[in-house]
Chains A and B, each alone.
Chain A
Amino acid sequence: MKLLTLNFLTCARKTCKTNPAAFPLHPREAELEQIEAEINPLLIQNLLPRINWEVLKTISQELGLPSLPESAPDSEDFMTEEGEPTQTLKDLHTLLMEMNVQNGKLVCGSCEHEYAIKEGIANFLLPSHMV
């Protein structure tokens, strides 16, 4: 599961939906794997406004990855004048598209429920008493 996905996942419990603490989910005991991917400037440019920068900073920090700039970069800073990807874009690409969470847990900050990740697939099925 690419790290980008974590920006779109929250606790599955209905009772947590209104609690800001339920998002983002906190990765625990996460095994990361970097898998090289072709850089996709258009995708990152389009998704950047749909990503909460504070949330991304939190996820990145909790995974022990290099810290991100204080505020979200401007997508105008993604390409050099020669049309080459800038370091800013490359770093974001590495973080969002090349970092994969293979195993571990995602923990809700509101109800503390743990969702297991195995072989890159997170399991969000809830027992009856949480539905």
Chain B
Amino acid sequence: MEYLIRFVQQHETFRKPEVEALAELLKIKFRWVSYSDDTPFAIIDFEDTENPTKAARDLVSRSILVSKMYELWGRGTDFDSLHADIRNRTEHIWPDYQASTFRFEFDSYHGTHPNDEKWRLIESFSYMKFTGRIVMSRPENQFIVFEDYKLDAPKPHNVFFGREVAEGGRKAMNKYNVKKRHYIATTSMDAELSLVTANMALSAPGTIAYDPFMGTGSFPVSCAHFGAAVFGSDLDGRSIRGKKGRNVASNFKQYGTSDLYLGGVTADLTNSPICSGRFLDAIVCDPPYGVREGLKVLGHVKEKLQQEVILSNGVPAHLQSDYVPPKKPYSFVRMLDDILDFSAIRLVDGGRLCMWMPVAGAKEDPEATPEGLEEPAKEEPEAEEYAIPQHPALALVAESKQHFNKWSRRLITYRRLQDSEISQEALTAYGMQRLELQASNQTGETTRANDLNDFRKKYFEGFKNP
């Protein structure tokens, strides 16, 4: 039997990767029979599965973007072809359902029917001879007529009929609603996409996940919801420590997952205290875009301040308890590269890196158009897309986009390859390239945060053409 997945019609490009991640985690094999970002209805078929109903339940029970899952009893392009298909697929099982309590419902995407027409349509299914009682609440079997309309079309172009077998995991969104969370900041990611990210990271009991830019802990909290042990770090220790008892630890307390919170440390990605062994199942992060202050890492651009600073009383400055280490500008692209390399070194085989990044930065050099040439056509993209960063040890699993009014960001998911799968040549070449990049950065004394960060520049220009 095939199954119909009823997705929510939003965050479309996250939907397929989320279900695929859960299938990988649960070792469930299936194939997509039909899927499109333009419709909430997708059809799948399980492979090598003894109990497909159980597989269907397991697969979607913690999915955030699946509303419900149904046995697909039939499909067609109109009601005549639907009825013919239902007969064909399910006539032999009708007797199993004829005496049970049941209910029929419509799920019409971009469409609607007056009530009398609904009754007439439901009557057209009477050939299945369901004689059980019709009950509105908690029927033994819930049957749904799905209709898929193109916007403003008079008739649906696809109709399906299904029996409900499972519910997705969207209830968790309510529990993790940031409005009800003990400790948040303006940058805390919403519950829905944090939980999707945790699913993409294959969070599960017995695994360990790390967030190098944990902020108020949105991702670690979401990963712990699915049973992963978590820890994190942030360049700004104040975000971990919080204020007046509201802090990252208190969020875990709120959700009853303190047992899974290993701790948070104040640390910088470029001088990280995290051991280099392959011990992490997942790395999950939304790196700072440096919108307000520009990106920073530890260090100082002025050479004389790279020396130890001794105060007038002869005590080294860094031993003072209120010492704040200086920081220098850091390029966004360089940071992404550092995150990938960091991850390649620490993820276990098959471990995942889930990293958010803005889709586009400003054009490299807006003044570069030679004089005398026409202004570029208005349809031209306003900003240049950041390339998806690559690493020889990391395979790209999925790229999903979230759109805002004037910009968009994407979640990039990678899988750590086994060493035997990695091209040694590519790894060597990559290592050389990184060394060059680092060397060039050492001499970048005049670089300003603005030059270093296309996204930040564009943000202040209002994402407009220059």
Contact = CB atoms under 8 A, between A and B. Distances in A.
Given A127-B309, A128-B300, A131-B299, A46 B207 contact: yes
Contacts of A8: 231, 274-275, 277, 279
Instruction: Select the residue from B265, B300, B316 with max chain A CB neighbours within 10 A.
Output: B265
B263 A2 contact: yes
Contact of B271 (A1, A35, A122, A126): A126
B326 interface: yes
Given A121-B240, A121-B266, A97 B206 contact: no
Contacts of A120: 249, 263
B276 A97 contact: no
**Is chain B's binding surface mostly helix, strand, loop or mixed?**
mixed
A9 B271 contact: no
B464 interface: no
Contacts of A123: 237, 265-266
Interface stretch (B42-50, B103-111, B139-147, B317-325): B317-325
Contacts of B300: 128, 131
A68 interface: no
Contacts of B279: 8, 47, 50
B53 interface: no
Nearest to B300: A128
B229 interface: yes
Nearest to B321: A116
Contacts of B317: 127
B205 A121 contact: no
B265 A9 contact: yes
B26 interface: no
Interface string B279-311: 100000000000000000011100001111100
Given A17-B276, A121-B264, A126-B298, A12 B205 contact: no
Interface string B227-252: 00101010101001100000001000
B208 interface: yes
A12 B273 contact: yes
B298 A131 contact: yes
B190 interface: no
A5 interface: yes
Contacts, number: 133
Nearest to B233: A124
Given A119-B241, A123-B237, A129-B307, A12 B272 contact: yes
Nearest to B249: A120
Nearest to A51: B279
B258 A124 contact: no
A120 B261 CA distance: 12
Contacts of A128: 298-300, 305-307, 309, 325-326
Interface string B408-431: 000000000000000000000000
A89 interface: no
B135 interface: no
Contacts of B318: 126-127, 129-130
A124 B299 contact: no
A23 B273 CA distance: 10
Interface stretch (A26-34, A37-45, A58-66, A77-85): A37-45
A124 B240 contact: no
A10 interface: yes
A56 interface: no
Contact of B206 (A1, A7, A45, A129): A45
Interface in B322-363: 323, 325-326, 348
Nearest to A119: B241
B273 A37 contact: no
Contacts of A97: 259
A14 B205 contact: no
Given A8-B275, A42-B205, A45-B206, A1 B267 contact: no
B121 interface: no
Nearest to A6: B263
Contacts of B272: 12, 124
Contacts of A129: 306-309, 318
Contacts of A1: 262-265
A12 B267 contact: yes
Contacts of B231: 5, 8
6 contacts: A10-B276, A12-B272, A14-B271, A122-B273, A124-B266, A128-B300
Which 8 interchain pairs have the tightest Cβ spacing? Answer: A1-B263, A127-B318, A42-B206, A50-B279, A37-B259, A124-B267, A129-B308, A128-B300
Interface of B: 205-208, 229, 231, 233, 235, 237, 240-241, 249, 258-268, 270-279, 298-300, 305-309, 316-318, 323, 325-326, 348
Given A4-B262, A43-B229, A121-B240, 9 more contacts: A1-B262, A5-B263, A25-B273, A42-B205, A121-B237, A122-B265, A126-B325, A128-B309, A131-B271
